[in-house]
Amino acid sequence: MSDHVAKTQPVLTLPPNMMPSSATSKKHPCSSLSVTYISRRKLAEVVDGLLGVMTLSTRKQPYVHSGCDISSDKVSGNNTWLKKCPSALASFDQIIARTQGKKIALFLDYDGTLSPIVNDPEKAFMSPEMRTAVKNVARFCPTAIVSGRSRDKVFDFVKLKELYYAGSHGMDIMVTCADSESITKDNKEAKLFQPANEFLQIISEVNKSLVEATRSIKGAIVENNKFCVSVHYRNVDKKDWKLVTELVDGVLKAFPRLKVTTGRKVLEVRPVIDWDKGKAVEFLLQALGLDDPESVLPIYIGDDRTDEDAFKVFRERNCGFGILVSQVPKETEAFYSLTGPSEVMEFLNSLVRWKEQS
C-alpha cells in the first residue's frame, strides 16, 4: 500500500458534480459542515474556549449502556442521550432489520475507534483482537478506513490489505479493482484519488515551519499526514495552549491557501478545498459501485468532529447511518452510539456472527 507502489498505478477521477473546488464558503454543497473552519484571528479565541469546555468535560462521568450503579440524575441524563443516540449494541437487531437484504458497506475511523486515544500518536496501536475483528467483518462487508492520518501511516497500523484506505481526511484514497478474495495478491490493480495533490509542496513547507515554531513548547507534536498537518497539544500544559495556537496562527499567515480545523486536542492544518470525510465516503461508494441505496446500506463508525461530515451525508440523504464512539453525550448527526473501541469490536464481531448464521 506504499506510495512507491502506487505511483505506477492509474489515478481515479471524479464526475463533474463531485469535483472538489477551492472553498470560499463554509458550507458543504450537500450539507453544512460540522467541522469548524476557523479564521486565523479567531483561532486563539476558540482554543481558549476549548480550555473551559475540556476542563468541564473531565468532570463528566461516562455514560453507560448497562450494568453500572449511578445516581438518578446521571441515569436521567444517560436515558435522554440514549433515546436520541441509542447503543448500537442494544439496537443491533433493529440495525439488522434496516438492512432488508441489502449489502452493508462499512466505513471506520481509526484513532479513538479502532485504537484508543493515546498521548503519543505514533503509539496508537490497535489490538490483535481488533485487527482480527476488522479482518473478519471485511470478509462479508466492503470495509474502508477513513482517517486523518496519512494513508501509508494508517495502513502500517491496520496492516490489512483486504480493506480500502482513505487518509488525510479523505484527501488520499486508494481503491483496488480486484474483489476481496484477490486483493492480497501482489498484482492487484490499485487506483489513487488525491484531490489535494497540488498542495503537497505547501504541506511539506508548512510542516517544517510548524515543527520549528513549536520546538520550544514542551509536549507539542507536529505530525505530517501528507495532505494535512496535525499539531497535537494533548501533552502540552494547559497554560501553553493559547501559545500553541498563536504560533500556528503566525505560521499560517504565510500560507493563505491553508485552513485550520479542530479535533480532539489537535489543530488540523488542511488545504482550502471543498473536500472532507463525507465527500470521501460518497466517492468511495461511487468508485466501488456501492452507491445504490436500494441495495447497499452504508455504516460509518467514528469518534471525532471530522466524522460528523459523513454522519450528516447519510442522515440528509437517508442512505445509511453513523455510529458515534463517545463516552460522554455529544451533539451529533449519528443515529447510534458506542462507548469506545471495545464496544466497536463487539459490534463488528456481532456483524460477523450474524453474517455467518445467515
Between the CA of residue 317 and those of 266, 278, 282, 289, 330, what are the distances in Å? Answer: 30, 11, 11, 17, 22
How many Cα atoms occupy the beta-carbon half-sphere of 136 within 13 Å? 18
Give the three cell numbers for residue 193. Answer: 484519488
Burial bucket for residue 228 (CB in 10 Å: 0-12, 13-18, 19+): buried
Instruction: Tell me how far the alpha carbon of residue 336 is from its chain's centroid.
Output: 16
Alpha-carbon gap, residue 253 to 166, rounded angstroms: 29
Q: Which of 48, 73, 93, 109 is catalytic?
A: 109
* 109 belongs to the catalytic site: yes
Query: CA angle 143-271-150, nearest 5°?
Result: 40
Contact 335, 323 (CB under 8 A): yes
Q: Where are the alpha helices (DSSP H) in 108-179?
A: 128-138, 151-158
φ/ψ bin of 55: left (φ > 0), alpha (ψ from -120 to 50), beta (otherwise): alpha
Alpha-carbon gap, residue 92 to 133, rounded angstroms: 17
Question: From start to end of the chain, where are the E strands?
Answer: 103-108, 143-146, 164-167, 172-176, 190-193, 221-224, 229-232, 258-263, 266-271, 296-302, 321-325, 336-338
Nearest Cα residue to 37 out of 268, 332, 243, 266? 268
Alpha-carbon gap, residue 4 to 196, rounded angstroms: 18
Active site positions, annotated: 109
